[in-house]
A and B are shown apart, each in its own frame.
Chain A
Amino acid sequence: MKILNILLSAFRALQRNKMRSFLTMLGIIIGVGAVIAMLAIGQGAEYSVKEQIAALGTNVLMVYPGAQQQAGVRTAAGSAVTLTEDDALAISRECPAVKYLSPGSGAGGQVIAGNLNWSTGIQGVGSDYLEIRLWPVEYGDFFTDQDVKAAAKVCVLGRTVADNLFPETSAVEQTVRIRNVPFKVVGVLTKKGQNANGQDQDDLILAPYSTVIRRLTHWPNLRSILISANSLNEMATAQKQVTEVLRMRHKIQPYDADDFTVRNQTDLAATATATTEILTILLASIASVSLLVGGIGIMNIMLVSVTERTREIGIRMSIGARSRDILTQFLIEALVLSLLGGITGIILGTVGSSVISKIAKWPTIITPFSVFLSFGFSIAIGIFFGFYPARKAAMLNPIDALRYE
């Protein structure tokens, strides 16, 4: 029997019991839909975590001044006056695994341009800051090493600041007044959007750290040092070198604690990614259980169908159907059920996950992998759960099947 003819007769057999076929398929539809949606949610979460970490820059280490310890009483991290410009210079000089380095200081304040004003954070950074954060300038240029050395009164605006202070004109070459100190705008950053916590990452002004220290904060110490290693593999080396240099410079005894903290972004990234991967696997396995239940539903209905159609099987055998013809017929019916269910489930899961991402504001991603997985799964379920009933039908004795009432 030709495959097309078998397919046609399978469709017809399923059409005869529309409600029953639909309910059987519903098990697979829900199963596949759930797998698709759960994978989409999990992979969406994984993606957004990776995205957030990438937004911090790659291969990035952050050095913060540590908590001050005096006679066993520790104050808040960063309260100690431990990280200086000289420390930063020493790191860039003595640590071969460090590629870029940007000392950081910061201030907040009102920024005025013409008759407009805006309240934002002013970050003092080094000239390599954008290299570390992988953040290009959209208009104009970033300030140079020369500007940093000279503590030049130049700045680069984040997109939000530029839009608010210069809504109609180009910000580049204009002057802004930060705490009454005039700064020349040399560039505007590209838009970066919100971070994971919903903060606007474009609401900031970057200026040379030396200028911020001298003109704005009047406080000589650094708030942080941002470092990027040569490569992901050299992160650990870089971290070790930085720690050694700083311990030496701060004259810390071998058994004493660091008075600074080195934070590693990749540790954070690995943990977060692993967590979301586990989440994905967990969600998908729960969803697969419903797919399995759907498969059992198919098997159940196919068994009922074989019993109901015993006489038909007998007739077919009496006019020359071989066992394998009967086997193929019932297997194809099971396969058609599971495949139709699978395809509908994929559509439903896709629609469902986009609804979820709209309502819950949770990113969802449907990868070809998850579609193929569910598709393959439903084929496998059709064959696996269809085989036993089909075999039962094929093994019937023609004469018994014919006489079955």
Chain B
Amino acid sequence: MIHEITTTPAQKDGLLIQIDHLSKVYQLGEVDVHALRGVSVNVSPGEFVAIMGASGSGKSTFMNILGCLDKPTKGGYFLEGIDVSKLTRDELAAIRNLKIGFVFQGFNLLSRTSALENVELPLFYCSISNKLRKSKAIAAIERVGLGDRVHHYPNQLSGGQQQRVAIARALVNDPSIILADEPTGNLDSRTSVEVMGIFQELNSNGITVILVTHEPDIAQFAKRHIVFRDGKIKSDKINPNPKIASEILSELPMIDEEEEAA
């Protein structure tokens, strides 16, 4: 291979994510499905990246590998200098626990479990005192503006509020990256903008946000656009004028919110 790079991350200073010729092949019976065909991307700390592409373009597979939920077939993935492809199941779990925060399209909250307990959940899987766990969880919930809904259950919360709880859960362990997979897919347009506002605010505080979406509107809030097609990167551009969620929000009518409250 021509592009075989064996550089250790120490040599490539300051990169959060370094991906070299990543490929992923699924075996569906006799057929090999090439979900990713040699993708190389670098992400620096503090970026806000939108990953776009049609369904089947490989963006979700890419996201799952980024999130250490899936392993690449070939290629290297260094996260903060750690070669993730060589880690064991348990080590991957620790990475997911400490370095990555997930936000899903379907919120993926535990039902019949209060907002607080949902947010506390990642802290159960690392050693932390019960007292500190609770205070960290409450701080994360307050950060997404749900301080008054701490003891509500998911079925007592609106979609937007549930997604905020999910973001709080992603935040609670102070991760390096937040990975959001179609976070606004189940939300109306106003709530979508609100959620993007939270991501922008977190990003402005230094957290790297990587977001998968197929809605160009939503991608406009990100600072960098990576477009996937057929398992390869089609384009990788800086968004010169990202939309500011807080500005748009002040222009949108408030009707939806009131209806939701009613």
Q: Which A residues touch B69, using CB under 8 A?
A: 317-318, 398-399, 402
> Are B108 and A317 touching (Cβ within 8 A)?
no
Pick from B70, B89, B112, B169: contact of A319, CB under 8 Å: B169
Known contacts A315-B108, A402-B108; is A322 also within 8 Å of B121 by CB?
no
What B residues does A322 contact at CB under 8 A? 89-90, 93-94, 125
Taking CB atoms, residues of chain B closer than 8 Å to A2 are: 124, 130
Q: Are B90 and A320 touching (Cβ within 8 A)?
A: no
**Bound CA–CA A312/B108 (angstroms):** 8
CB of A325 closer than 8 Å to a CB of B: yes
In the complex, are the beta carbons of B125 and A319 less than 8 A apart? yes
Among A2, A320, A325, the most chain B Cβ lie within 10 Å of the Cβ of A320
Interface string of A1-22 (1 = CB under 8 A from B): 1100100000000001000000
Per-position binary interface string of chain B over residues 53-78, scored 1 when its CB falls under 8 Å from any chain A CB and 0 otherwise: 00000000000100101100000000
Flag B116-134 by CB within 8 Å of A: 1 or 0 each: 0000011011100010000
A 282-317 to B, binary, CB cutoff 8 A, 1 in contact else 0: 000000000000000000000000000001101111
Q: Is the CB of A320 within 8 A of B110?
A: no
Decide if B97 is an interface residue (CB 8 Å cutoff). Answer: yes
A322 to B97, CA, bound (A): 9
Q: Secondary structure at chain A's binding surface: helix, strand, loop or mixed?
A: helix
A317 and B70 contacting across the interface, CB-CB below 8 Å: no
Given contacts A320-B97, A322-B93, list 12 more A-B pairs with CB under 8 A.
Answer: A315-B110, A317-B69, A317-B93, A318-B67, A319-B96, A319-B121, A319-B169, A320-B93, A320-B173, A321-B93, A322-B125, A402-B104
Q: Does chain A have a CB within 8 A of B221?
A: no
A301 to chain B, nearest CB (A): 18
Find chain B residues with CB under 8 A from A398 CB. 69-70
| A-B pairs, 3 with minimum CB distance | A320-B97, A322-B93, A320-B125
Question: For B96, what are the chain A residues with a Cβ–Cβ distance below 8 Å?
Answer: 317-320
B122-A311 in contact (CB<8A) = no
Instruction: Please state if A319 and B102 are interface contacts (CB–CB under 8 Å).
Output: yes
Q: Is B110 a contact of A5 with CB atoms below 8 Å? A: no
Shortest Cβ gap from A21 to chain B (Å): 14
Residues of A within 8 A of B126 (CB): 320
User: What residue of chain B has the Cβ atom nearest to residue A401's Cβ?
Assistant: B69
Closest-CB distance, B10 to chain A (whole angstroms): 26
A323 contacts chain B at the CB level, 8 A cutoff = yes
Inter-chain contact A320/B94, CB cutoff 8 Å:
yes
Distance in angstroms between the alpha carbons of A5 and B121 in the assembled complex = 11
B108 touches A311 (CB 8 A): yes
Q: Which residues on B sit within 8 Å (CB–CB) of A317?
A: 69, 93, 96
- Provide the residues of chain B in CB contact with A399, threshold 8 Å: 64, 69-70
